Amino acid sequence: MTPKDRFLRACYQKPVDRPPVWMMRQAGRYLPEYRAVRKQKSTMEMMKDPETACAITLQPVDLIGVDAAILYSDILMVPEAMGLKLDFVRGTGPVFENPVHTEKDIEKLSDQSIAQKCDFVSRTIQLIRKKIPDDFPLLGFAGAPFTVGAYMVGGDGSHDGNTIKKMAFEERQTFRHLMTKITHATIDYLKKQVEAGVDAVQLFDTWAGTFSVEDYKELALPYEREIFKSIRAMNVPTILYIKGGGPLFEEMVASGADVISIDWRLSLSEAKQKAQGRVALQGNLDPSKLYAPIPKIEESTLQMFKDFGKGRGYLVNLGHGIMPDIPVEHARAFVDYAKKFGHETIP
């Protein structure tokens, strides 16, 4: 079975020889090869140069042996294309020079021609497709409107999501205006990724995990659903991830995503029972467990498969992105063990 067949079939809950394995943030700071590039270029330079972004995307494929590549980029490319000046500051993370606070700020944002403004992303995807075999899957991604909006309103990566929630509850019309603009921009952005050659897309709504069920249903879910509806028409599988999204699982299923990616606070067995075959599952090893000695990583990986049990529709992953100080050999061990124990899920 080819890697692409394995990945796509798992997303659609069809029989596979073993579940595919990849890791969120797999192209990044835990790899010495990535850090070597980072010494020469800024984050923005790396993301906007297709040759560099392509090389970084493929590093974990070559070095770790994952079953899928995910585009090296950032969820904040969309707000930058909408008109916010973005920089990645060492020790701080993403910073917007002109965060969004008022209706006038939102009026200045453009949700038109986003894909054209991010043409470097399409060129990167096209270059990756030339570098990898036709039978190897490439994932695209974007941030969901609520999470992207959290950064746009908060101004940097140091907030806890409260600033955007303040807008949502104090100025509901302003909040909805912002969410609608981000939604339209994100649809344009993801459609272009699919046209350029990605095989699946993942939507990250990290901060939505701070919502109650009812608030999530009103303030985040409708925009996720609109995005998934548009992308689903392009016949590629879709994945939704929310950090801390366990209490929202039933509503996440209603988003229209083909795959629900969960963190370690919701067991795979419970998620499987709740899903009742309506969606595939992805996850969910606690990334911190990759600090453990390799024999312990083997135990944790095997236990994860046993928790899922027999059945279709499973993609092996971490419950959040890999940390930058995880030893490379530990990441590789996780991938190797995922391949070794994948037969545990075969009926």
- Which of the following is catalytic: 38, 176, 312, 332? 38
Annotation marks residue 135 as catalytic: no
- Which of the following is catalytic: 30, 34, 151, 216? 151
Q: Count CB neighbours of 25 within 10 A.
A: 17
* Residue among 279, 162, 276 nearest 262 (CA): 279
Annotation marks residue 74 as catalytic: yes
* Strand partners of residue 241: 204, 261
The separation between the first and the last C-alpha atoms of the chain, rounded to the nearest angstrom, is 17
Annotation marks residue 199 as catalytic: no
Q: How far is CA 92 from CA 49, 96, 153, 156, 306, in A?
A: 22, 11, 16, 8, 39
Interhelix angle 162-170/145-154, rounded to 10 degrees, is 100
- Which of the following is catalytic: 6, 18, 30, 74? 74
What order do you get walking across the sheet with 238-241 strand by strand? 69-70, 138-143, 200-204, 238-241, 259-261, 280-285, 314-318
- Which of the following is catalytic: 5, 25, 265, 307? 25
Q: How far is CA 346 from CA 25, 140, 302, in A?
A: 27, 28, 14
* Dist CA 250 CA 276 (whole Å): 11
Task: Say which DSSP state 266 is in.
Answer: S
Residue 257: enclosing H or E segment and its boundaries? Answer: none
CB 220 within 8 A of CB 255: no
Annotation marks residue 232 as catalytic: no
- Which of the following is catalytic: 29, 176, 225, 332? 29
Residues whose CB falls within 8 Å of the CB of residue 122, separated by 6 or more in sequence, listed in order: 115, 192, 193, 195, 196
CB 261 within 8 A of CB 282: yes
Strands of 147-272, DSSP E: 200-204, 238-241, 259-261
Annotation marks residue 291 as catalytic: no
Task: Enumerate the active-site residues.
Answer: 25, 29, 38, 74, 151
